[in-house]
Amino acid sequence: MDNIKDKIYDRSPHIIQNIIISLFNIISYKKRYGSFYKSYRKQYLENRNLSLDELKKIQKAKYKLFIQYVNKNSKFYNELFSNIETPEELDNIQQLPILNKETLRKNINQTYTINKKNGVISKTGGTTGKSLEVIYTHKDVQERFAILDNFRNNFGYNLGEKTAWFSGKNLLSKNDVKKNRFWKTDNIYNVRYYSTFHIHNNYLEFYIKNLILYKPKYMVGFPSTMYEIAKYGIKNNIEFPPKTIIAIFPTAETITDDIRKVLEGYFKTNLYNQYASSEGAPFITECKNKKLHLELQSGVFEVLNKNDQPVNKGRLVVTSFNTHGTPLIRYDIGDTIEISEDLCTCGNNNPIVKQILGRVSDFIYSEEMGKINLGNISNCLKGVHGVIKFQIHQKVPDKILVLIEKENLIFDKKNEAIFIKNLRDRLGSKITIEIKYVDFIEVEKSGKFRIVKNTLNI
C-alpha cells in the first residue's frame, strides 16, 4: 500500500481513493484467501470440539514438524539448538533458550528461512521505537486468517459483511480533514476504514454521525479509537441505534474492563476479544461465553515466572506454528497473562485464560507500590469528569509526567484533585506527579494510542 499511496493515491480525489483501496484489497485478499485458506478453515472447524487430550496430541505433532523445519532452514536456530538432543520433542521445550525481541532483532537475518520477495512482510512496532520486520510464508498467512475468520464467524461475520474498520493506516488527505470526512470506503467488500489518527474532540461528532448513517454490522480494529468515539457519544447524549452492531472485534491493544463496558454499553452489542501479535504469536480467542481460550493447534503457550518456571500468572513465552518464515520459538513476547483452571461449556476444550494483562511495559512503576498495570491506571478516571484523554510518561522510578487533554468547561480544580487522589491511591504518596495540560495527545506511528509510555528498564 505504501508504494501506491505515495505515487497515485495522495493526488487522487476521494472517489478514486476509495477505488484504489478496493483494488488494493482485491490483491491482498487473493493472497490471504488462497487454496490453503479453505482447507485450514475446514480443518479448524472440524477440530473445534476436540477433547483437550486430542488437542494436545495435535499440538505435539505440529511442534515436532515445526522444529524440524526450523532446524533445517534457519541458521540462527540451527546453531542455537546444536547442543540440544531431540529439540523437536515438546517434552524437551524447557531445554531451549528463551528469546526476547532484542535478540530476535539482532539475529533477524540469520533467523529468516525465506527471502522477502517470497513472503509477506509484517512490520512490528515497539516501545523502544525499533521495529522488527517479520516475513510470513503465504501458507502461514492463510492459516492465520483462517483461524481469525473462524473466530469471527462464530459471531456471524464473513468477508463482505458491512464493517467499520479502525486501522493503523493513515488514508486521509488534507482535503478530507477540511471536509470533516474521516473515512474511506471499499464498496466491493463493504468496509469503511475510519482514521485512527484524527481522534480529536472537534471531529468525533462526525465519526459518530457517519457510523450511524453507514450502519456497519461489525466494528473491527483499535479499541482505543472506538472507546474515544463511544465516550464522546455518551457525554453528548448522542444515542447509538440499537441492533446495529452485531459484534465488536478489537485488535492489537489491551482490553481493560472499562473499555469493554463503555464499548458494549454505548454500541449496545458484545465485544469479543482476540490475541495475536504482528510478529505472529499463536492465537487466544474469546468464545460466546466470553471466555478466552488458548488455541493449542496454533502454538505452545508457556506462562513463566522470573526464574523461567511455569506458573499460572506470569510472562507469556510463545512458540508459534505459523511462523515458518521468521520462526518464533520460546519467544518472550512481552505480555503477561493469567491462566485459569476453569472449564468452559461452549464446546471448545482449549485451556482458558483468566486475563491478558498486556505489555509488560504497559505499567507505571512506583518504588512504594511496585508495578501498577494498565487496568488500574485507566481506572484513575473513576469519578473524574472532563478528561478527554491522558497519557503517563515515565523515565525514572521516582517521577511521572501526566499529559492531560481536558475540557476546560468541565475539568475544574475539584476534578483535578480527584484525579490526583486516584493516582496517589495507586502509586503511593512519594512519587513525584507532574501534570501538564496539552491541546492534543498524539497517537503512535502505528495509529495505536498508548496510555502509558514507559522507558524504564525494569
In the complex, which residues of this chain contact Zn ion (CB under 5 A)?
287, 289, 291, 344, 346, 348
Q: How far is the CB of 294 from Zn ion (least distance, A)?
A: 11
CB distance 297 to 44 below 8 Å: yes
Strand ranges in 101-240 using DSSP code E only, listed in sequence order: 120-124, 132-136, 163-167, 183-186, 191-195, 218-221
Region for 99 from its dihedrals, namely left if φ exceeds 0, alpha if ψ lies in -120 to 50, beta otherwise: beta
Of 276, 281, 277, 278, nearest in space to 329 by CA: 281
Q: Return the number of the residue (277 or 348) whose C-beta is nearest Zn ion.
A: 348
Q: How far is the CB of 349 from Zn ion (least distance, A)?
A: 9
User: Does the CA dihedral 157-159-161-166 come out positive or negative?
Assistant: positive
Residues 6+ away with beta carbon under 8 Å from 348? 48, 49, 287, 293
Q: How far is the CB of 285 from Zn ion (least distance, A)?
A: 9
Q: Return the number of the residue (151 or 222) whose C-beta is nearest Zn ion.
A: 151
Of 392, 372, 381, nearest in space to 422 by CA: 381
Q: How far is the CB of 336 from Zn ion (least distance, A)?
A: 22
Q: How far is the CB of 44 from Zn ion (least distance, A)?
A: 15
Q: Return the number of the residue (196 or 348) whose C-beta is nearest Zn ion.
A: 348
d(CA 198, CA 184): 13
CB distance 357 to 336 below 8 Å: yes
Q: Return the number of the residue (182 or 272) whose C-beta is nearest Zn ion.
A: 272
Q: How far is the CB of 344 from Zn ion (least distance, A)?
A: 3
Q: How far is CA 242 from the centre of its chain?
A: 27
Q: Fill in the amino acid letter for 438.
A: V
SS3 content of the chain, % helix, strand, coil (to 5): 35, 25, 40
d(CA 324, CA 333): 17
Q: How far is the CB of 348 from Zn ion (least distance, A)?
A: 5
Q: Return the number of the residue (198 or 291) whose C-beta is nearest Zn ion.
A: 291
Q: How far is the CB of 321 from Zn ion (least distance, A)?
A: 22
Q: Return the number of the residue (230 or 287) whose C-beta is nearest Zn ion.
A: 287
Q: Fill in the amino acid letter for 164.
A: A
CB distance 86 to 304 below 8 Å: no
Q: How far is the CB of 100 from Zn ion (least distance, A)?
A: 31
Q: How far is the CB of 423 from Zn ion (least distance, A)?
A: 36
Q: Return the number of the residue (293 or 450) whose C-beta is nearest Zn ion.
A: 293
Q: Return the number of the residue (49 or 289) whose C-beta is nearest Zn ion.
A: 289
DSSP string covering 83-132: T-S-TTSGGGGGGSPPEEHHHHHHTHHHH-SS-GGGSEEEEE--TTS--E
Q: Return the number of the residue (291 or 330) whose C-beta is nearest Zn ion.
A: 291
d(CA 49, CA 51): 6
d(CA 412, CA 111): 54
Q: Return the number of the residue (99 or 344) whose C-beta is nearest Zn ion.
A: 344
Q: How far is the CB of 56 from Zn ion (least distance, A)?
A: 17
Q: Coil, helix or strand for 329?
A: strand
Q: How many CB atoms lie within 10 A of CB 414?
A: 11
CB distance 372 to 364 below 8 Å: yes
d(CA 71, CA 7): 41
Q: Return the number of the residue (263 or 294) whose C-beta is nearest Zn ion.
A: 294
